[in-house]
Amino acid sequence: MARVRDEDIALVRDRTSIAEVISETVTLRSAGGGNLKGLCPFHDEKTPSFTVSPARNVYFCHGCGAGGDAIKFLMDAEHLTFIESVERLAGKAGLQLRYEETGRTQTGPRPAAGQKQRLVAAHAAAADFYREQLTTPAARVAREFLAQRGFGRDAAQNYGCGFAPEGWDNLTRHLRQQGFTADELTTAGLAKPARSGSLIDRFRRRLIWPIRDLTGDVIGFGARKLFEDDDGPKYLNTPETPLYKKSHVLYGIDHAKREIARQGRAVIVEGYTDVMACHEAGVPTAVATCGTAFGADHIGVLRRLLMDSDSFAGEIIFTFDGDAAGQKAALRAFEEDQRFVGRTFIAVSPDNMDPCELRLAKGDLAVRDLVARREPLVDFALRQVLSRFDLDTVEGRVEAMRKAAPLVAKIKDREKRPEYARKLAGDLGMDVEPVQRAVAAAAGGESPAPSPRIPAQPADSPQRLVEREALKLALQVPVLAGPMFDALGPETYGHPVFQAVRIAIAEAGGTAAATGGAVWIEAVRDACADLGGKALVGELAVEPLHVDGEPDPRYVQVTLARLQVGAVTTRIRDLKSKVQRVNPVAHKDEYLALAGELFSLEQHARALREQAAGGL
């Protein structure tokens, strides 16, 4: 078996800058004394404990104990063998290695390189092949596809775009002629066995994007359908291979990594053209997942670039469509966000346009503005939860509170939770105390107590007593109650049984046409559809009124005024809740209309309280 000569290995170590090698995957900052520090790539940490000593050309993590030289770093970080790591560093340093085997010394590359290096070489050759094919007449549809999305020849070259031709084995034959074996092409995901047993290309008649890792090596491809008679999926990616793990891959990371580290910001988009559009528009920190949802492993890649830690807060900006799928993705991102220390935002494009569409429709500035107008992801998540409920009803507000409180409880910055609890209370139009209790219960792993479907007041509450008294007046002295009583509908009453009796009074003809007595009482009882209401009619017909002596019109007026005060107060509370939920800038007309209605109701309530003065 071939081995590299010891003196060549020593020369590779001497010619390699460990800081340059490690900084390709880890953001390093000065730690004083000539040393550098960053987040360890070998274990999850929030406070940097990974130290690099350029003077000694070594690294060491005080958290997990990992350490060594540049060769060891590549072995552990990129899962290379010792020989593969030496070859990678020698290539970067421009050194030619000498190999020893059975006593003979051989100059030049060893005949059988490690598997990973062979797969990387196969992908590099495939990328060159696809890129050359994009200039052929057969690739006109692919070039038109890019042009229609605002990408010319320079952009296509910059991102290595290519074209997979129509033939069954064009790439396979090309790579076999370069010395790659059938097993290597299959393992790399570049080719696959046909039913006949021969090897055919995985991608055909498609626009191709090379997908690179942090070091810039091509490790896979994304392919977009171009022809209607292609019965495959719209996008087709390289399958899982020793190089390509979709849960770890971020398209555009090779272009964006330095700007992500410099700006302390990463923009997450949904597609290849979105990444290209953002970079072309002046947002060079954009990356995208490849055929899978944004997950924990992607977070690990970004955290190391952002140096996301307790002392340095990186910024993550998700861009999603405003449609249902985009909203679902945003809420899923909020769950993953709890793995970040950094601040996480969302930018939703107007008219549900993705960054590529936005750039085409409104230009580069619109894409930059989209990112600049970002809002905290927690705000967006809360708004999406609240939008599922009818906040004009008590039940809707309480259920919305129960669903939203766990989101507030998950906010990683504990100092922000009280403020978000107060904001949630304002959005709901509720007192802050019950919202704070719901958040505290969710943070403690408890479920808020379920709310009753009817927010019933006690039977002896002042409002219930007033409602009862009004119904007694209608049953016992309908001549006095008359049109004033009839003008107040069932919605004035808070208790469902009282509402049933009020409806029965209307069904029986109303108090304005009634003369009272047993016939009137019996008519109301017969008209009542509620069994509890029927019994209540008999009870109220004989229950004494809360007045000394005989009732007079003044007493009826006071009682009905008090009845209305309760109903109007409830309406004012609901309207205030609605006003708080309307953005006065974005929905100016609606806000002014509601504010005007609220002002009128509050004036009406003051007038009713003046009428009701006097006591029962």
DSSP codes of every residue in 370-389: HHHT-EEHHHHHHHHHHTTS
Asked if residues 470 and 462 have their Cβ atoms less than 8 Å apart, the reply is no
DSSP string, 241-271: -SS--TTT-EETHHHHHHHHHHHTEEEEESS
DSSP string, 174-201: HHHHTT--HHHHHHHTSEEE-TTS-EEE
Q: What is the pTM of this model?
A: 0.64
| pLDDT of 29 | 92
Instruction: Label residue 284 exposed, middle or buried (CB < 10 Å: 0-12, 13-18, 19+).
Output: middle
Reply yes or no on domain 250-382 having CATH 3.40.1360.10: yes
Mean pLDDT of 461-467: 84
Most confident segment among 222-236, 324-338, 479-493: 222-236
| pLDDT of 615 | 47
Asked if residues 524 and 539 have their Cβ atoms less than 8 Å apart, the reply is no
| pLDDT of 616 | 43
Instruction: Convert the pLDDT of each residue in 135-173 to its tens digit.
Output: 999 999 999 999 999 999 999 999 999 999 999 999 999
CATH superfamily of 3-107: Zinc finger, CHC2-typedomain (3.90.580.10)
Asked if residues 47 and 309 have their Cβ atoms less than 8 Å apart, the reply is yes
Given a cut of 80, whether residue 452 has pLDDT beyond it is: no
CA separation for the pair 602, 608 (Å, rounded)? 10
CA separation for the pair 82, 73 (Å, rounded)? 10
Give the helix/strand (H/E) hosting 140: helix 140-148
Local confidence band at 462 (pLDDT 50, 70, 90 cut-offs): confident
318 pairs with which residues across the strands?
268, 346
CA separation for the pair 124, 346 (Å, rounded)? 35
Give the three-state DSSP class for 530: coil
For the chain, what are the domain ranges?
3-107, 115-237, 250-382, 388-443, 457-616
In 3D, which of 404, 341, 478 has the Cα closest to residue 44?
341
Counting DSSP H helices and E strands in the chain, the numbers are 26, 20
Instruction: Convert the pLDDT of each residue in 103-126 to its tens digit.
Output: 554 444 443 446 878 899 999 999
Which CATH architecture group holds 457-616? Orthogonal Bundle (1.10)
Tell me, yes or no, if the two domains 115-237 and 457-616 fold the same way: no
Q: Across the beta sheet with 67-68, what order do the strands follow?
A: 29-32, 35-38, 50-53, 58-61, 67-68
SS3 content of the chain, % helix, strand, coil (to 5): 55, 15, 35
| pLDDT of 151 | 97
Lowest mean pLDDT among 109-113, 247-251, 463-467: 109-113
Encoding tokens for residue 149? 């999305």
Local confidence band at 323 (pLDDT 50, 70, 90 cut-offs): low
Given a cut of 60, whether residue 375 has pLDDT beyond it is: yes
| Residue 211 region by backbone torsions, left for phi larger than 0, else alpha for psi between -120 and 50, else beta | beta
Most confident segment among 323-327, 446-450, 561-565, 568-572: 561-565
Q: In this predicted model, which residue has the larger pLDDT, 590 or 326? A: 590
Instruction: Convert the pLDDT of each residue in 59-95 to its tens digit.
Output: 999 988 889 999 999 888 876 678 878 988 988 888 8
Instruction: Convert the pLDDT of each residue in 34-64 to its tens digit.
Output: 999 999 988 888 889 999 999 888 999 998 8
Average pLDDT, the chain: 86
Rg of the chain, C-alpha, whole Å:
36
Given a cut of 90, whether residue 218 has pLDDT beyond it is: yes
DSSP string, 277-302: HHHHHT-TTEEEESSS---HHHHHHH
pLDDT above 70 covers a percentage of the chain that reads: 89
Mean pLDDT of 363-373: 94
Residue type, 316: I
- Which CATH topology does 115-237 take? DNA primase DNAg catalytic core, N-terminal domain (3.90.980)
Given a cut of 90, whether residue 97 has pLDDT beyond it is: no
Given a cut of 70, whether residue 324 has pLDDT beyond it is: no
Give the helix/strand (H/E) hosting 38: strand 35-38
| pLDDT of 454 | 36
